[in-house]
Chains A and B, each alone.
Chain A
Amino acid sequence: MIAHSVFFYIFSLIAIVSAVMVTVSKNTVHSVFFLILDFISISCLFIMIGAEFLGMIMLIVYVGAVAVLFLFVVMMLNVAEQKGQWFSSRWDGGTHIPVGLLVSLIIFFELIIVIGGWKYKPDLLNSLSINISTEVTNTRSIGNVLYTDYILLFQISGMILLVAMIGAIVLTYRERAGVKRQSYVKQISRERDEGVDLVDVEKNKGVKIDA
C-alpha cells in the first residue's frame, strides 16, 4: 500500500509539474513535449486506479495521434519562441489572460460541482440509470455502456465528428491548377499508336511538343 501511494504521488507530481511547464516554457515545441509527459503520467494514474483500458486508450489516442499532430503543427508553422510575456516586467497588456482566467474559473467550478456531488452523495454511481458491474473487466463494462446502453448517442456523436471532419476538409480544400497527377489506368492503357509520333521536321522550324 505504501508503494502504491508513493507511485501515486510521483505520477501526480510529474503530471502537475509538466502541466505547469506546458504553459510556462518559452519554446512551443518544449510545451508540446511537456504536454506529452502530462498525458503519459495521467495514463499511468488511470492504470493505477485499475482503469487499464482508459489508460491505454489515452496513450494511443492522445499521445500516439493527437500530440503528434500538435507537434506537426508547431514544428511546421515554425512558431517563434515566445518572449517571456508572462513573467517579464514589461508585459504589454495582451487580452488573452482575462479569457484564460474566465475559462479556468468555469472549469474549476464545474470540478467543484462534480467532486462535491461525489463527496455529499457517495452512492452517486449507484443512482445512475445504468448499472456498472464491478465484476467484469473495465474494458467489458465500457463496451457495455458505449455499445449497448448508449449505442444511439455514441453513433450520433460519431456522425457529428464525421461531419466536422468533412467540413474542415471542404473549407480548406482548394483545387490547384497545373498539378500533374499519376493515373495508373492512363499509364497502363497507353498504346504504341498514341505514344509515338513520327514527325517530319522542317528545317529551322523545330517541332512543337504538347500541341
Chain B
Amino acid sequence: MDSYFSILFTEVYKILFLLVPVLVSVAMIVWLDRRVWAFVQKRRGPNVVGPFGLFQSLADALKYIFKEIIIPASSNKLVFVLAPVVTMTLALISWAVIPFGEDFVLADINVGILYLFAVSSLGVYGIIMGGWASNSKYPFLGAIRSAAQMVSYEVSIGVIIINVLLCVGSLNLSDIVMAQQNLWFVIPLFPMFVIFFISALAETNRPPFDLPEAEAELVAGYQTEYSGMMYAMFWLGEYANILLMCAMGSVLFLGGWLSPIDIFPFNAIPGPFWLIFKILFLFILFALVKATVPRYRYDQLMKLGWKIFLPFSLFYVVLTSSFLLYFDLLPVK
C-alpha cells in the first residue's frame, strides 16, 4: 500500500510538471496570437501590461476571476456548469501522450495517436453541452454548427493519420518521431501536411472556419451565455486545443523532438526545445492565417471537408500504400 501511494505521488508530481507549463504557455500563446494579429494589421496589440505586454493574459485572467458568473435561469444548470469543465479537461488530458524527447513522455502508450484522436473527437461535447444547456437560440445554433464541422474534419484528420501510420508501422508517438530520423514526413507527405493544417484550423474553430462563433450572425455562438471564469475556461480550453493540434502536427510531420539536421550546433539543443520551436512555428502560422483570411461560408466549409479533403486524402492513402508496397518500403516489424 505504501509503494502504491509513493507511485501515486510521483505520478501527480509528473502531471503537475507537465500541466503547469502547458497552462502558462497557453496564457502566453494568447498574447502571442494577439501580437502577431496586430503586427499583420499594423497595430500595436497588447503592449501595456509588463514588458511588451507579456502580462496581458494574466491581467485578463484576473479580470475573469473577479467577474460574476451568471447562470441563466432557464438553463440546464448542471450541464451548463459541466460544459467548460469538460472542454478544459479534454484539452489538458491529451498532453499526457505528447513525447517531448526520448523517454521524456508522461504516458508512453502503444496506441498514443489513437488516444490523441479519440480525445480530440470528444472535444465536441464541451461545445454541444454548452450550447444546449444555455437554452437559447444563438448558442444552440453555434453548437450544432460546431459539432457538424468538427465531426466532418475529424474524418479527414483520421485519414491523414492513416497516411503517416502507413510509413511508421506503429501507433506509438515516440515510434512515429523515431521513424522520421532520416526524413521528416512533411517532405514525402507534403499535401497531407497542408490538409492537416487546414483541418486543424477547422477542428479548433479558428478563423477562417470560426463559424460556430461568427459574431455577425451568432453573437458569440456557444459561449454567448457564459461569463466570468466559465467563459475563460472555454477560451483556455480552445487555446490548449490549438497548441495540442500544433504539437500533433509537429510530431506527425515535423519530426517531433528531432533536430532538423544532425550536426553539432543543432543536435546540442535538447529535444524539448526543438518540439517547442516547431509548435511555435505552427502556431505563428495559425495566427497569420487568422489575420489574413476572411471567414468561409458554411456550405463552402462542408464542401471543402467532404468533397475535396476526404477524397483527396483517401486517394493519397492509396498512393502512399502502393508506393510503399512497390518499392518494398513497408515497415514490417
A and B associate: yes
A contacts, CB < 8 Å to B: 2-3, 29, 33, 36, 52-53, 56-57, 59-60, 63-65, 68, 71-72, 75-76, 137, 139, 182
Which of B67-75, B120-128, B256-264 lines the interface with chain A? B120-128
Nearest A residue (CB) for B303: A182
Interface of A is mostly: helix
**With A64-B121, A75-B144 in contact, do A52 and B110 touch (Cβ < 8 Å)?**
yes
Shortest Cβ distance from B333 into chain A, in angstroms?
Answer: 9
5 A-B pairs with C-beta separation under 8 A: A52-B111, A64-B124, A64-B151, A68-B147, A68-B151
Whether the pair A53, B121 counts as a contact (CB closer than 8 A) is no
A60 to B161, CA, bound (A): 14
A137 to B114, CA, bound (A): 14
Whether the pair A56, B147 counts as a contact (CB closer than 8 A) is no
**With A29-B132, A139-B171 in contact, do A72 and B144 touch (Cβ < 8 Å)?**
yes
Say if the beta carbon of B231 comes within 8 Å of chain A.
no
- In the complex, chain B residues whose CB is within 8 Å of the CB of A75: 128, 132, 140, 144
Encoded as 1 (CB less than 8 Å from any A CB) or 0, chain B from 69 to 113 comes to: 000000000010000000000000000000000000000011100
- In the complex, chain A residues whose CB is within 8 Å of the CB of B148: 72
With A53-B171, A60-B114, A71-B128 known, 15 other A-B pairs at CB within 8 A are A2-B4, A3-B4, A29-B132, A33-B79, A36-B125, A56-B118, A64-B122, A64-B124, A64-B154, A68-B147, A72-B148, A75-B128, A75-B132, A137-B110, A139-B111
A66 to B122, CA, bound (A): 11
A112 to B326, CA, bound (A): 49
Whether the pair B110, A68 counts as a contact (CB closer than 8 A) is no
A197 to B206, CA, bound (A): 42
**A-B pairs with CB below 8 Å: how many?**
62
A59 to B118, CA, bound (A): 6
- In the complex, chain B residues whose CB is within 8 Å of the CB of A36: 125
Say if the beta carbon of B117 comes within 8 Å of chain A.
yes
A64 to B203, CA, bound (A): 13
Nearest A residue (CB) for B115: A56
- In the complex, chain B residues whose CB is within 8 Å of the CB of A71: 128, 132, 147
Whether the pair A60, B79 counts as a contact (CB closer than 8 A) is no
A71 to B109, CA, bound (A): 31
**With A3-B4, A53-B114, A60-B114 in contact, do A72 and B121 touch (Cβ < 8 Å)?**
no
Whether the pair B114, A56 counts as a contact (CB closer than 8 A) is yes
Shortest Cβ distance from A179 into chain B, in angstroms?
Answer: 11
Nearest A residue (CB) for B4: A3
